[in-house]
Amino acid sequence: PAPMPAPEPIEALRFVGTETCARCHAIEATAWRDSHHARAMQEARDDTVLGTAEATVSEGGVETRLSRRDGKHFVHATGPDGVSRDYEALYTFGVDPLQQLLLPLDRGRLQATTIAWDARQRVHRRRLVRSRSCKSCQQRHRLLVVTGHIRQRFDGRPAKRC
């Protein structure tokens, strides 16, 4: 058989915007706009950050300070290099029941804070990530804990499977 021709280059993928999709999917767009999904990840601004702008959360010897300067939100925390510094919160993640802030790391990665604003009890909470024994393999895994219920492993895989 003759070799297949090389595929033509594809234009870089990019987000076309909500309104572009809504032109053909009006019912879905309306339902989405009224849902928490529409606000699941937003730029961190005064009108999107739900928690207290100035707060210190301490638990288990770990202290995290939240602050606001020049219209921007910051988290003073220990980074992956073990050094404490201020990180500008770029995005919010979640709305209800919990909202975390997303902080920039190297190579364009974002890291969710280990504290979250509890929208129902109106308080900052820590200890979202815990080490628990896995029922499948009996090893300890770091798990994301949401309002007391294990939802997924910290690496993103479901908690019920290894």
Q: What does the pLDDT look like over 58-95, one tens digit per residue? A: 776 778 889 999 999 999 988 777 788 899 999 999 98
| Radius of gyration of the chain from its Cα atoms, rounded to whole angstroms | 20
Question: Which pLDDT score, from 0 to 100, does residue 127 have?
Answer: 56
Q: What is the pTM of this model?
A: 0.66
Question: pLDDT exceeding 70 applies to what percent of the chain?
Answer: 73
Question: Which pLDDT score, from 0 to 100, does residue 144 have?
Answer: 43
**Where would I find the H helices in the chain?**
18-22, 26-33
Say if CB 87 and CB 77 are below 8 A apart: yes
Question: Which pLDDT score, from 0 to 100, does residue 135 have?
Answer: 58
Q: Which of 94-98, 128-132, 142-146 comes out lowest in average pLDDT?
A: 142-146
Where does the pLDDT of residue 134 fall: very low under 50, low under 70, confident under 90, or very high at 90 and above? low
Question: Which pLDDT score, from 0 to 100, does residue 146 have?
Answer: 42
Task: Give the residue from 68, 67, 86 showing the smallest Cα distance to 76.
Answer: 86
Question: pLDDT exceeding 90 applies to what percent of the chain?
Answer: 25
If one compares 54 and 107, the residue with the highest pLDDT of the two is 54
Question: Which pLDDT score, from 0 to 100, does residue 120 have?
Answer: 84
